[in-house]
Amino acid sequence: MSETVYLPLQEARRRFFDGQTLPADAVPPAILQSWQRCLGLGMPAAGRRQAERLGEQTLRERREYNGDWLALARPTLDGLFEGVVDDGHVVIVADARGLILDASGNAAFLDRAEQVALTPGMDWSEEVRGTNAIGTALALGGSVRVRGGEHYLERNRSLSCTARTLVDPLGQTLGVIDVSGLPRRLGDGHGQLVEATVRLIEQQLFGQRFGRHDTLLVHPDPTQLGTPRAGRLAFDEAERLVAANRQALGWLGLDWSALQQHRFADLFGESLGHWRARYGVGTILLPHGGRLPLSARLLPAASATPAARPRSVADREAVAKAPATAAVLPVQPQCEAGLPDELSTRALRLFEADIPVLLQGETGVGKDRFARWLHQASSRTRGPFVAVNCAAIPDGLIEAELFGYEEGAFTGARRQGSRGRLREAHGGVLFLDEIGDMPLALQARLLRVLQDRLVTPLGGGTSHSVDLRLICATHRPLKRLVEQEAFRADLYYRLCHYPLRLPPLRERGDVAAIAQQLLDARGARSRDISLAPALLQAMRRYAWPGNLRELDNLLATLLALADDGNTLTLDHLPEELREDMLRDEAKPLDDSLLEQALARCGGNVSAAARALGISRSTLYRQRRRAG
């Protein structure tokens, strides 16, 4: 697609300020309309008037006022910073009125930015600075790029900037994210980077504020449903639309006034309960609404809120009867931080189809937590969740623990006998952790239970039928154990329909964002405690052998030792860990890790670099080195 050719800028400016009518395509329409607004305000283009810088105290107050979203956005903004700093650009964050809260980036350009007052504490609203990316993005309520002489004020001609507003799930504009640099250096790629950053932060805000609501994801391309590009629509328990993002509203032809006005059925022709019963978490082509063919998928609420699951018995029965794979299209993994949506979706789908779920992954990746989440997000949430750690119970007792026993079955048995864990899980979920450590003899009994759904207690007596769903977890390579005859092949094939691998932390892309979430969950924000960029950088490169457990424990310790208002740096770490982290920082990344990240991000170098927590130039360098 060829770009529109505009008049040479100086000529267009001259004609505009001479009061001549410009040809329709003289300058981009958004710029021309902004010039007209500024002229309407009586603003002189060559004026020298400088707006006042806010005092430190007031600036601090404005940062505090915006503190919630700033803290959430920080790790993502750090990623943007790394993506542009090498090209000589700065990342600017402004509030909803155009006041610059933060500027970070290339030192040489920061000096130049200082000369034109593109610095914290300065007001860059359109009324004060004329046409500029920050103020004009706010005036338009979207994205804009303003290059060189497109700036209304002559003195800003040395800048080129691209900006996008950041909007919360209720439609309130929170602020603006901007990348600025020298006119000839700023390209389309920078605009795309800003857009991607804003989308990611908006997705995080959505998750933080409406993660406990059922959310419908929509996108014309089903492979994008798990990504920040997806449209999002959240519904409350009365199935009323309570939150959305700009993408979803645009595709459905709605605006922010739709919130609280529409119910799920008004938009999609059937109730959310029916939708859930028919499609579960499958991807379908939307039967209603929108101007484009849209694919949609339900993202169940993140925790056991009533909205997360079928509410009535009828709903639940409908779920049970519904084919598990109604009109299901494949869903691609998402590229950025956290567990891929795909993993949760697959697990839930297997679970609801009564297929045993096998979770594999290194110690501390969160297998236990994931199993509990699965129970809570599923139709079995009202049933019990019974966890048994096969490695923690002595061999001689595990059989009794699982199968129960009749009164007096063995020495030491309780007088009244025991129902056993399998029967306790009736109607709910049995979670067998460390299944790779289950004794061989017991494996045969477990297999029989899975086939016959009958439990016979130790010491004989009546068999009891059980209805349970099974989730197993192990950090051991089960397949290899089968080859070594340490695990029964028949049980392996019964359990291992589709093993789900929870990735180690070092492969999970944005360790910094995960660390921030864990910190927030531990109340760091209310104590004004944050992580310094250098510490985040070191965390991204560290191998985290203990995975989430190691990270979470470290953060808990650091928080316990910190004073309110502290910024945590490498100096706060225990010495040994600090040394390990710094050593890892100097190490080049594994080649296969580079290639995997690039493949996951469709060859997009910037996205892969962000996912790995390194700059683009480092990624290029390491690829060259790898040959």
Ligand X SMILES: Nc1ncnc2c1ncn2[C@@H]1O[C@H](COP(=O)(O)OP(=O)(O)OP(=O)(O)O)[C@@H](O)[C@H]1O
* Selected range binding ligand X among 262-270, 272-280, 301-309, 365-373, rule: CB under 6 A: 365-373
Rounded Cα–Cα distance for residues 381 and 113 (Å):
55
Q: Is 369 in the site for ligand X (CB under 6 A)?
A: yes
Give yes or no for residue 365 binding ligand X (CB under 6 A).
yes
- The number of CA neighbours under 13 Å toward the Cβ of 445 is 17
Rounded to the nearest whole angstrom, what is the least distance from the CB of residue 105 to ligand X in the complex? 32
| CA distances to 158, 170, 200, 221 from 226, in Å | 40, 21, 12, 11
Nearer to ligand X, 136 or 334 (CB): 334
Minimum distance from CB of 343 to ligand X (Å)?
Answer: 12
Using CB under 6 A as the binding rule, whether residue 364 contacts ligand X is answered as: yes
The rounded distance, in Å, linking the Cα atoms of 252 and 296 is: 12
The CB-of-41 to ligand X minimum distance in angstroms stands at 50
367 binding ligand X? (CB under 6 A) = yes
When the beta carbons of 28 and 499 are compared against ligand X, the nearer one is 499
Of the residues 170, 324, 518, 570, which one makes contact with ligand X according to CB under 6 A: 518
**Closest to ligand X by CB, 364 or 420:** 364
Rg, the chain, Cα only? 29
Q: Enumerate the H helices of 379-477 as residue ranges.
A: 395-403, 421-424, 440-452
Q: Tell me if 341 contacts ligand X by CB under 6 A.
A: no
- Structure token pair of residue 545: 């052998």
User: Closest distance between ligand X and the C-beta of residue 435, in Å?
Assistant: 11
CB nearer to ligand X: pick between 154 and 520 = 520
Q: Answer yes or no whether residue 336 interacts with ligand X by CB under 6 A.
A: no
Beta strands 90-95; 100-105: pairing state: antiparallel
Is 280 within 8 Å of 274 (Cβ atoms)? no
Cα–Cα distance for residue pair 568/75, rounded to 1 Å? 14
**Residue 139 in contact with ligand X, rule: CB under 6 A:** no
The number of beta carbons lying within 10 Å of the beta carbon of residue 160 is: 24
Determine if 280 is a binding residue for ligand X (CB under 6 A).
no
**Which parts of 449-478 interact with ligand X (CB under 6 A)?**
473, 475
> CB under 8 Å to 358, separation ≥6 — which residues?
435, 471, 472, 473, 474, 478, 495, 496, 497, 498, 499, 500
Shortest distance (Å) from residue 429 CB to ligand X:
15
Q: Does 363 bind ligand X (CB under 6 A)?
A: yes
| 368 touches ligand X by CB under 6 A | yes
**Binding residues with ligand X: total (CB under 6 A):** 14
Least distance from C-beta 553 to ligand X, angstroms? 6
DSSP-assigned beta bridge partners for residue 567: 530
Is residue 596 a contact point for ligand X (CB under 6 A)? no
Decide whether 365 or 430 has the Cβ nearer to ligand X: 365
Measure the CA–CA gap between 564 and 559, rounded to whole angstroms. Answer: 9
Does 262 sit near ligand X (CB under 6 A)?
A: no
Provide the terminal-to-terminal Cα distance of the chain, rounded to the nearest Å: 34
- Site for ligand X (CB under 6 A): which residue of 366, 417, 457, 509? 366
Shorter beta-carbon distance to ligand X: residue 183 or 499 = 499
Determine the longest span between alpha carbons in the chain, in angstroms: 104
Query: SS3 for 166?
Result: strand
Output 90 or 472, the one with its CB closest to ligand X. Answer: 472
Smallest gap from Cβ 120 to ligand X, in A, equals: 33
Nearest residue to the partner ligand X, using Cβ: 366
Find where tokens 């590229």 sit. 335
Nearest to ligand X of 302, 318 (CB atom): 302
Q: In this chain, which stretch among 40-48, 134-142, 271-279, 356-364 interacts with ligand X, using CB under 6 A?
A: 356-364
The smaller minimum CB distance to ligand X, of residues 365 and 568, is found at: 365
Give Cβ neighbours of residue 151 (< 8 Å, ≥ 6 apart).
130, 131, 132, 157, 159
**Nearest approach, Cβ of residue 433 and ligand X (Å):** 6
Of the pair 16, 373, the CB lying nearest ligand X is at 373
Contacts to ligand X from residues 474-503, by CB under 6 A: 475
* Closest distance to ligand X from the beta carbon of 76 (Å): 19
In the window 524-563, what residues touch ligand X (CB under 6 A)? 548-549, 552
Q: Which is nearer to ligand X, 133 or 524 (CB)?
A: 524
Q: Position 179: which residue type? A: V
513 binds ligand X (CB under 6 A): no
Residue spans of beta strands (DSSP E) within 68-156: 90-95, 100-105, 143-147
Q: Are 198 and 184 in contact (CB under 8 A)?
A: no
Nearer to ligand X, 140 or 518 (CB): 518
Q: How far is the CB of 375 from ligand X (least distance, A)?
A: 13
Alpha helices in 286-428 (DSSP H): 313-321, 341-352, 367-377, 395-403, 421-424
Site for ligand X in 79-138 (CB under 6 A): none
- Closest CB to ligand X among residues 258, 347: 347
At its nearest, how many Å lie between ligand X and the CB of residue 427? 24
C-beta of 166 vs 393, nearer to ligand X: 393
Task: Find the shortest distance in angstroms from Cβ 550 to ligand X.
Answer: 8
The dihedral sign for the CA sequence 606, 608, 614, 618:
negative
**Spatial CA neighbour of 347 closest among 380, 374, 308, 309:** 374
State in angstroms the smallest separation of the CB of 481 from ligand X.
16
Q: Give Cα 41 to chain centroid, integer Å.
A: 42
Q: Specify the stretch interacting with ligand X by CB under 6 A; choose among 313-321, 366-374, 410-418, 579-587.
A: 366-374
Task: Return the exposure string of 26-55: e unless at least 16 CB atoms fall within 10 Å of the residue's CB, then b.
Answer: bbbebbbebbebbbeeebebeeeeeeeebe
Footprint on this chain of ligand X (rule: CB under 6 A): 361, 363-369, 473, 475, 518, 548-549, 552
